[in-house]
Structure 1
């Protein structure tokens, strides 16, 4: 098929399962071959799991599998996801965490290099690729990403400050438990992770999509009932074809981007979609309650 995006959406379940396996293996490799041997910590719940495991070992002399801790810490978050985000989003994220936990338990902890700086950089990059792959295909690796998605859907706001605070706590505890050099290497690892996610997915909490399709009205109708966001229709004319067309402009959250692309290509495999980072949105940007009220009115 000429349009690879359309092929991906038509084989969505298979593609997502492959992504989950690859993402889990990458996370396991990053943790067990680079971060854990170098005593460098990841961001999010994997980083918290590393700290808890390290605390058990350091203060109680007990070995605790990081993979098990990652899974256990995610359980209450998955309950929140099930209630707020629905079955589909929760199942894929749950499988991603299971894959990460299993690979962390199966892949042996080995020292690839004695260079802590190299371990920090490579480990951060690989974890970033793992997380970005999941985000790219419309689900998360659990943890605070799910909390961020819930808050984004219910309030329309981002949780950048909450994520920053979480990572700050990880860095501070790492410094207090071990030494401040460990904290500095952890900062480098988290920075590399963030850069990779930003490059492979998007650093913006919201994006503006410009959609050009010969089936623009069908696309609008599809989006109205699946991603109820405001849409503006712009008259356009092709410079080479000289033919008139309609451009659909809409602003969505980074977590709705995958679904938007999927619904567009379900209608028109030849659609042209341009995604532009959006720094700020003023005015009406519906939260989950407003979206639900609109859908209720639409179907009444």
Structure 2
């Protein structure tokens, strides 16, 4: 076994597969218990699979189309995404497909005409279906995989089309819902499907990025020692001081970089301007903060 293979093997832990399994089961629950029974549509390849399962013979099930459409896309994106992502994604979709089959065809749960929990209430089905499937998708992403091959398509084709990955996914989903509306000759279900998509999207953001993002402050100041000392004493955290130079004034400046939570921002501003009233402060959101081992 070479070094690369050994390193890859170390990533595939029991914890990884546990959470990927949980993600697949949760996503299947949201789709089969809330969305599919009332003919609402999930986003991406999952939504496409729901549509195809409805307009084709009964033996071509949702589980069949999930595997048929997703697995080739993950394999196609192997070079760009790598072995770890590809294995995790295919495994997660396999669990999603298996769990969907068990719920619809094996377990004593009737999901043929209405949601077992929300009945025929489209709004409840859209919101809770989106939230639950979003939990599954977000958990899969946090664990290193994915629930849907549309992200792989976006990574491969978006740049060639002059689009961002997010825009590519959004356009795909909007086209999917338009096609659903045309085939159904009704726009009620596609519109409720957009509600489900929005709920799932926000849930994924919450799980992947957290409810309370950190804030990064870049402070351009001529008094870096005073500003740095006051911030460090107040917040008991590290910071970084970078050398800089003003473009128009050509005078020496310093940039103090510090990451805080949103409740500390106002205090930070007051401390900085007390030390240097002319300091320039730029604040931006930080999705992830990764700290190395000491």
TM-score for the superposition, normalised by structure 2? 0.64
Q: How far off its partner does 1:244 sit? A: 7.1
Write the distance in 2 (CA, Å) between the matches of 1:93 and 1:139. 4
Write the distance in 2 (CA, Å) between the matches of 1:168 and 1:138. 27
Aligned pairs for 1:124-135 within 5 A: 124-135=130-141
1:201 and 2:208 correspond: yes
Aligned pairs for 1:103-252 within 5 A: 103-108=99-104, 110=111, 111-112=115-116, 113-150=119-156, 158-178=164-184, 179-202=186-209, 236-237=228-229, 238-240=232-234, 246=240
User: Paired residue for 1:224?
Assistant: none
TM-score for the superposition, normalised by structure 1? 0.63
Count of residues paired in the alignment = 220
1:86 and 2:82 correspond: yes
Q: Report the more deviating stretch, 72-81 or 140-149.
A: 140-149
Higher-Rg structure is: 2
Write the distance in 2 (CA, Å) between the matches of 1:151 and 1:42. 22
Cα RMSD for the two superposed structures? 3.5
The gaps in structure 2 that reach 5 residues or longer are: 1-9, 105-109, 217-223, 242-256, 260-286
1:40–1:155 distance in 2 versus 1, CA, 3 Å: closer
Once the two structures are superposed, what CA deviation does each residue of 1:196-252 show, in whole Å capped at 9, x if it has no partner? 11222249xxx9996xxxxxxxxxxxxxxxxxxxxxxx99552159897647889xx
Once the two structures are superposed, what CA deviation does each residue of 1:80-120 show, in whole Å capped at 9, x if it has no partner? 22222221111111111111111111113523122122111
Q: How far off its partner does 1:14 sit? A: 2.3
Once the two structures are superposed, what CA deviation does each residue of 1:107-162 show, in whole Å capped at 9, x if it has no partner? 13523122122111110111111111122233221311223445689999731221
Q: How far off its partner does 1:33 sit? A: 0.8
Q: Following superposition, which runs of at least 4 residues in structure 1 exceed 6 angstroms of deviation?
A: 151-157, 207-210, 241-244, 247-250
Q: How far off its partner does 1:171 sit? A: 0.8
User: Paired residue for 2:262?
Assistant: none
